[in-house]
Amino acid sequence: MEWVPLLRWLHVLGACVLLGTGAGIAFFMVMAHRSGDAKVIAHTAHIVVIADFLFTASAVILQPVTGVLLAMLIGWRLTEGWLLLSIILYFVTGAFWLPVVWIQHRMKKLAKAAAQADSVLPPDYFRLYRIWFACGFPAFFSVLGIVWLMTNRPALDLW
């Protein structure tokens, strides 16, 4: 069996899941936040945490496995410019995504507590939301950059 087409498909599928889930999660969290309703935010954040665990985390594991296997089978060196830059951007994405996972969980707990107490969202929620929002931009644009590098494979001399 030729593994390259299957691995390429899995790799592209993983990239689609990362990009799509990231954009979807961001959209739904922003819309819930804009509602100002602690119950809506708590419910949305609960679903977002599950989606991040099921979809994003799975793709995060799938991407380096399929990427390294593809590179080995095709004969690409991991130090080729476009590939090395993709790997660097992958770590940049992870550096912003990992704190976001914890922040989403914390925001969910704060919103749930406010909803149960029928009170307003605490200042900590808003502080965490600003950090969550700010972390989304470099992570999202890094993924966009990776997809561009993956589809174009430009000749880059990083050394």
Q: What is the pLDDT of residues 77-126, one digit of tens each?
A: 999 999 999 999 999 999 999 999 999 999 999 999 999 999 999 999 99
**Residue 159 belongs to a domain:** no
The range of the structural domain enclosing residue 57 comes to: 3-152
**Residue 104 belongs to a domain:** yes
User: What pLDDT, in 10s, does the model give residues 35-54?
Assistant: 999 999 999 999 999 999 99
What is the enclosing helix (H) or strand (E) of 100?
helix 81-116
Q: Which residue from 47, 45, 35 is spatially nearest to 109, judged by alpha carbons?
A: 45
Number of domains in the chain: 1
- Give 33's contacts (C-beta < 8 A, 6+ positions apart): 41, 129
Q: Residues for the chain: how many in total? A: 159
**Residue 82 belongs to a domain:** yes
**Residue 35 belongs to a domain:** yes
**Residue 158 belongs to a domain:** no
In angstroms, the CA 43 to CA 37 distance is: 10
pLDDT(156) > 90: no
Per-residue b/e over 122-148, b at no fewer than 16 CB within 10 Å? eeebeebbeebeebbeebbebbebbbe
Token pair listed for 56: 């994003």
**Residue 113 belongs to a domain:** yes
Confidence band of 129 (pLDDT split at 50, 70, 90): very high
**Residue 38 belongs to a domain:** yes
pLDDT(159) > 80: no
**Residue 157 belongs to a domain:** no
